[in-house]
Structure 1
Amino acid sequence: MASPLNVISPLLLILAILSTGPGFSDSARIFTIINKCKESVWPAITPGENFGGGGFILKSGQSIVFTAPVGWSGRIWGRTGCTFDKNGNGTCQTGSCGSELKCKASGDPPATLAEFTLTATDFYDVSLVDGFNLPLAVTPINGQGNCSVAGCDRDLRPTCPSELSVKLKGKTVGCRSACDVFNTDEYCCKGVYGNPVICQPTYYSKLFKQACPTAYSYAYDDPTSIFTCVGTDYVITFCSPRNQTVCTYHNNKLVCSGSSNNFKSQTTILGILLLVLASLLSLLNMS
């Protein structure tokens, strides 16, 4: 049998389609989370009241949809190598938030983080300040402004310096930050280095930045790493190229990324039926 959360996932997608229309609140943000990795990922969200309680499993190829209100500010990351019992207690190789499936606290580094502040103008970024454990891309759709794709879509684990590597059974499962490993003022941007003038890129942060130019590589890496967008929805994708086309439904429209003007296509009955069919197939796969 499918778990209750996996049953709700495609139903939420269908309800999101059926509820769009003149009465649907344009202030809400639709979050679509997709797992394109070859293995299962356990997404974690804090605060998670609007996101299935803050934690769930996504098997390879699965996706889930949530709606968050303006005013929500939080972070999303993926956990790997998890084992949870029927009560939602267990452990993960990376990204653990204690021993719970539904996170109520930040994840343990290393973890690739997507960070959001939803206001009249949204702020969002992908951060490697706490290290790296999974490729992660944030694609804004249907917004206005500097709505660039943020993220780190390269897998940094195979090239992680040995002194930063987290290994299990000989396999690198994560890449720690220099701050986490060495805990110096220079690497952590603290003490006399606690300002953007003194704290500059280091050897390790430059490695991260070279591989992932639109992700935070250290604490004050703001100019090329934080983005703004107005009235947008978000697609968060694990293990997928940043330039891959992704779509969501909003206000009776199928809205896709992949063009400079955020290509839009008016939803038709066929389009709704196809999405419902895809949701039902996803439901069957989860069982």
Structure 2
Amino acid sequence: MDRLLPSASVLTLLILSFFSEVNSASFKLVNKCRYEVWPGVLSGANTAPLSPTGFALKPGKSRTLSVPKAWSGRIWARTLCTEYSPTNFSCVTGDCGSGKIECAGSGAKPPATLAEFTLNGADGLDFYDVSLVDGYNLPMLVVPRGGTRGGCSATGCLVDLNGKCPRALRVAREGGVGRVACRSACEAFGDPQFCCSEAYATPDTCQPSVFSLFFKHACPRAYSYAYDDKTSTYTCASADYIIIFCPLPYTSLKVLGIRKDGAVLPLVNKTMMYF
């Protein structure tokens, strides 16, 4: 009987592998920017890390990641990156501080536009959002595909905000040339009322600021401050997701208009499109 155990173990592993494949989701990351980006991936606590945790994505290219159904974490794009050696890699925006292309468990240094996910959460629903709470570095769109329940609405920020970022929040390249990101008021000023901390650590005491309203006006579905849950968190069940960096606003709106996703807020404030 002992001789049968290795075969049984192999069979068990094959079965588990099969069900793992069946119960996985996919994230397709698409770069529509005119420049190369370096996506970063950070898994949440008690969640298996994805592989890879960082990579290069040239303009017009895409890459698909397989994601466990119970995964949670965030995805973002690093920009203006330079690799002086295999252990000396850094980016002007969204840098994760690992010194390498892979982030290896480190998150994005603000400011950075974030796509956040909790898959297979309460009632079997995926919860997802695009957050500007940690600031903004480029436009991003998240589109669920093939969902069976929930609103399954697209969300994101289609507008390039760097050009019109309030002066106090602007981030420029070294030497002050070119605006490359827009900080959150919390990062810029460290004030508890902007950070929703200390005496402002509840939804009742922490209200939108003139700075968070700048983000919300341009990108109505994106998180603009810590307690922006009601208009910024979306749900879907058993979906795959497309995450697009620098989506083309009018093309995106045309496609999403056909879908009629039923979300209360528009995906973009059209009066801001000239940005």
Short-chain TM bin: 0.7 to 0.9
Moved over 4 A (4+): 22-26, 48-51, 242-246, 256-259
Aligned counterpart, 1:41: 37
CA distance 1:90–1:198, change in 2 (3 Å) = same
User: What is the CA deviation profile of residues 226-280 of structure 1, one whole-angstrom value per residue up to 9, with x for unaligned ones?
Assistant: 001000000000000467469xxxxxxxxx9764389xxxxxxxxxxxxxxxxxx
Aligned counterpart, 2:109: 108
Between stretches 233-242 and 202-211, larger displacement belongs to 233-242
Residue 194 (structure 1) shift: 0.4
Aligned counterpart, 1:155: 160
Equivalent-residue separation in structure 2 for 1:63 and 1:74 (angstroms): 20
Residue 71 (structure 1) shift: 1.2
Residue 57 (structure 1) shift: 0.4
Figure out how many residues of one structure are paired with residues of the other and give that number: 232
Partner AA of 1:140 in structure 2: P
Aligned counterpart, 1:32: 28
Residue 100 (structure 1) shift: 2.1
User: What is the CA deviation profile of residues 58-85 of structure 1, one whole-angstrom value per residue up to 9, with x for unaligned ones?
Assistant: 0100000111011110000000000125
Aligned to 2:66, the other structure's residue is in SS state strand
Residue 25 (structure 1) shift: 4.3
Q: Which runs of 5+ in 2 are unaligned?
A: 1-17, 262-275
Q: Does 1:132 align with 2:136?
A: yes
Partner AA of 2:31 in structure 1: N
Aligned counterpart, 2:180: 173
Residue 51 (structure 1) shift: 4.2
Map 1:4-83 to 2 at 5 A: 25-47=21-43, 51-83=50-82
- TM-score, structure 1 length as denominator? 0.75
CA distance 1:70–1:242, change in 2 (3 Å) = farther
User: What is the CA deviation profile of residues 167-190 of structure 1, one whole-angstrom value per residue up to 9, with x for unaligned ones?
Assistant: 114200000000001111100001
Q: Which has the higher helix share?
A: 2
1:244, 1:258 within 8 Å by CA — same for their partners in 2? Answer: no
Equivalent-residue separation in structure 2 for 1:32 and 1:81 (angstroms): 22
- Decide which of 183, 194, 197 is 2:190's aligned counterpart: 183
Q: Which runs of 5+ in 1 are unaligned?
A: 1-21, 247-255, 263-287
Equivalent-residue separation in structure 1 for 2:236 and 2:141 (angstroms): 16
Aligned counterpart, 1:204: 211
Aligned to 1:34, the other structure's residue is in SS state strand
Partner AA of 2:112 in structure 1: A
CA distance 1:187–1:118, change in 2 (3 Å) = same
CA distance 1:91–1:258, change in 2 (3 Å) = same
Equivalent-residue separation in structure 2 for 1:27 and 1:200 (angstroms): 40
Identity of aligned residues (%): 46
Aligned to 1:134, the other structure's residue is in SS state coil
- TM-score, structure 2 length as denominator? 0.79
2:42, 2:49 within 8 Å by CA — same for their partners in 1? Answer: no
Aligned to 1:53, the other structure's residue is in SS state coil
